[in-house]
Structure 1
Amino acid sequence: GIIFGAGPIGLLTMLAAHRAGMTDITVADIAPAPLAFATKLGASHVENVGGGEEGLKAQAASRPYDVAFEVSGTAAGLASAIGIVRRGGVVVQIGNLPGGQIPTPSNAVMAKEIDLRGSFRFGFEFATAVELISNGSIDVLSLVTAERPLSTAPDALRLALDRSQSVKVVLTAN
């Protein structure tokens, strides 16, 4: 499978996919630092698509993707997921897309007979996530790249916004 987006939700999606038995996972993103972190957490392959998707297309030609998770929350990510998944494959939209009309390659969904699914994190998935965290099946703390005291919140938030420096920043009591 492939996951578009190596932010915190994409990385958690990867951990959940591993937990569900998916052994060959590619993570695609436009930034190198999150991709390096995905490798550290166990991604089989990473692909920087900031300059285009030639590498992904070549990889998919020899090893088609059965499932693609769109986690980036971008129209381009959804179009890429639809374009890269094999005929009859599944695309799961997890990322929240911007409001308004979003161009979607609907003819590709039809022609490739893709199963396009939505997944809203506040549905039944939330209870499952809490259970997996509480029983230790998923280690969410592995995503924490920095802890900062609450008194330094403005600096901590700037750090959290810098994808080249952090994945998740946790504020502590001091």
Structure 2
Amino acid sequence: MAPNADNLSAVLYGIKDLRLEQRPIPVPSDNQVLLQMEVVGICGSDVHYYIGGRCGPFIVEKPMVIGHEASGTVVKTGKNVKHLKPGDRVAIEPGVPCRSCQYCKTGSYNLCPDVFFCATPPDDGNLSRYYVHDADFCFKLPENMSLEEGALMEPLSVGVHACKRAGIEFGDVCLITGAGPIGLVTLLAAKAMGAVKVVITDVLSKKLEVAKELGADYTIKIERNMSEEDIIKKVVELLGQEPNKSFDCTGIESCIRICVAATAAKGCAVLVGMGKVEINLPLSKALAKEVDIRGIFRYANDYPTSIQMVQSGKINVKPLVTHHYTLEETLKAFNTAHTQEGNPIKVLIHANPNWKPS
């Protein structure tokens, strides 16, 4: 490959300062693969970095290539790579841990303090023509899965991980606050794992309509005049009981409070969304009911499960995709994700210049 070949990349310099520029094509090490990037989704964290220059404790302090929800095609492999070959289509798990700390060794590599994670400052992401990644965090896509579905394995893995943390099993009754992309993939995972009734809340009717199409049994549109008690009462009324598994997928304090307070005795409330550093919670209610409150951070060992669920047909992620853009249209894509014009759910950017709309 010529050293001057096109490697157009989307680089975030600061707040609302996202530029397209050429970068050198990287060279894979012995355990890496060089990828022709195909599809990169825009995540809520990407929008936070673009609009505010930070997401939680992570702050953009130097130019950073954006993007981490991705799929690609293998172009070249390092000499130690045995399970992949040029031409293979892969879903890219964006976090590569150190592999040697106690968290990595015990299977919780998502908690590794030295993890490299695409587009989390100071680590570059993969919204570019070409990108190198550790081969063991690239998962070959089955023939019946598209590259678009491959890019969606990242958000789906969040939902799968959340449901594993909750211990979802057949017969569970669930509440999900927030019908954005993460709330919707949590819905998909919960239903696939055996939840029999799920109610999901949001402020936007359009998102609730999609949730219904994806399998939600009940939806609640949150109105300004509704109190937390009103919402909890409506949840119980619709489900016929308190939910035994609840998920907050917003990070908004009021939603987290509802999630915790609504959960049945001996149930589990999982906090998926990341919001303010400090929030007020109704802990006395949770303590009196012995409710388990659990947090999640990304995912660990969940990509294979997510791929198998889509491959088998237990989960269909295609309805999540609402918008398509080329790499040259990155600014337009981010504007759509930020303004929510056109009711986007998942906005995809196609990095391969040969991509044509279907």
Counterpart in 2 of 1:39? 212
Contact persistence 2:199–2:235 (CA under 8 A): no
| 1:58 aligns with one of 202, 223, 234 | 234
What TM-score do you get using the length of structure 2 for normalisation?
Answer: 0.45
Counterpart in 2 of 1:26? 199
| 1:4 aligns with one of 177, 180, 197 | 177
Give, in whole Å, the separation in 2 of the partners of 1:163 and 1:110.
42
Give, in whole Å, the separation in 1 of the partners of 2:284 and 2:303.
32
Counterpart in 2 of 1:121? 298
Q: Which has the higher contact order (CA 8 A, sep 6+)?
A: 1
Contact persistence 2:201–2:222 (CA under 8 A): yes
Give, in whole Å, the separation in 2 of the partners of 1:124 and 1:116.
22
| 2:321 aligns with one of 124, 135, 144 | 144
Contact persistence 1:47–1:56 (CA under 8 A): no
Distance 1:104 1:28, change over 3 A: same
Give, in whole Å, the separation in 2 of the partners of 1:127 and 1:42.
23
Counterpart in 1 of 2:27? none
Letter in structure 1 aligned against 2:244: D
- Deviation per CA, 1:13-49, whole angstroms, max 9, x where unpaired? 0000010011211111122221111112121111012
Contact persistence 1:29–1:50 (CA under 8 A): no
What TM-score do you get using the length of structure 1 for normalisation?
Answer: 0.87
Contact persistence 2:236–2:242 (CA under 8 A): yes
- Deviation per CA, 1:117-152, whole angstroms, max 9, x where unpaired? 222223233443344345543222221011122222
Moved more, 131-140 or 32-41: 131-140
Letter in structure 1 aligned against 2:301: F
Sequence identity of aligned pairs in percent? Answer: 28
Contact persistence 1:26–1:43 (CA under 8 A): yes
Give, in whole Å, the separation in 2 of the partners of 1:74 and 1:59.
18
Distance 1:82 1:55, change over 3 A: closer
Counterpart in 1 of 2:105? none
Counterpart in 1 of 2:80? none
Contact persistence 1:34–1:164 (CA under 8 A): no
Give, in whole Å, the separation in 1 of the partners of 2:231 and 2:257.
16
Give, in whole Å, the separation in 1 of the partners of 2:249 and 2:180.
8
Letter in structure 2 aligned against 1:154: L
Any stretches of 5+ residues in structure 1 without a counterpart? none
Any stretches of 5+ residues in structure 2 without a counterpart? 1-173
SS of aligned partner of 1:102: coil
How many residues align? The count is 173
Counterpart in 2 of 1:89? 267
Letter in structure 2 aligned against 1:72: T
SS of aligned partner of 1:97: coil
Counterpart in 2 of 1:77? 255
- Which of structure 1's runs of 4+ aligned residues deviate more than 6 A? none
Give, in whole Å, the separation in 2 of the partners of 1:155 and 1:141.
22
Distance 1:158 1:79, change over 3 A: same
Give, in whole Å, the separation in 2 of the partners of 1:56 and 1:69.
14
Give, in whole Å, the separation in 2 of the partners of 1:157 and 1:81.
30
- Deviation per CA, 1:77-124, whole angstroms, max 9, x where unpaired? 2111011112222111111232x2222222122112111122222323
SS of aligned partner of 1:43: coil
SS of aligned partner of 1:116: strand
1:64 to partner: Cα distance: 1.8
Counterpart in 1 of 2:343? 165
Computing the radius of gyration from Cα coordinates, the structure with the larger value is: 2
More helix by share: 1
